[in-house]
Amino acid sequence: MFIGALLEWILGNTFPAVVFSVFGTFWLAYAGVLNPNFAAFSSYAPANATSPSDGLSSEGFNASIAYWFLFMGVLCFLFMICSLRTNVVFFGIFLSLVIAFGLLTGAFLLKAEDGVGNAVQINKLLVVRLSHSLSLSFLFVKKKSFNSREMILISLQLSFHRELVRRHS
């Protein structure tokens, strides 16, 4: 995405260049946080931890990731407002990202507050995010009719969605 941002900047498309560079650097930084070689999460591990990965469940780590997702949600909201001049597809993408980052922020804040006690609420937020993504994927289908294979896939996805909602409600 970062290379795409450079190429969009060379072409003179400033809005896609900014969006691609922001998301490219976000994914690179998030990969770095989750990479054990950079020791980002092991710094949050308690002193008596048996494994460096114990930092992944610490209150400080989950709260910092939550606020990082919150910032990305605010930034996507600004991109969503700016995309009104561009096209409807960008607006839909940024709207779904605002919702997704908001749900992820809530899930990580609940985990930071009490990782074990709030597990049910965390699962509900993640199920809502999954069902939101699934329902949006159906909105952008341009076909008016589906063949039998596509109908089977759609029915499987809907039954999977219903089962997830039933289990976590």
pLDDT tens for each residue of 85-106 = 888 888 888 999 998 898 888 8
Query: Which is more confidently placed, 31 or 113?
Result: 31
DSSP single-letter state for residue 115: T
Indicate if the alpha-carbon torsion angle 111, 103, 94, 82 is positive or negative.
negative
Query: Which is more confidently placed, 107 or 77?
Result: 77
pTM tops 0.85, yes or no: no
Residue range 103-132: mean pLDDT, rounded: 69
Q: How far apart are CA 123 and CA 169, in angstroms?
A: 10
Contacts of 159-165 with C-beta under 8 Å, sequence gap 24+, read 161/130, 161/131, 161/134, 164/127, 164/130, 164/131, 165/127, 165/131
pLDDT at 17: 93
> What are the residues whose beta carbons fall under 8 Å from the beta carbon of 88, sequence distance 6 or more?
none
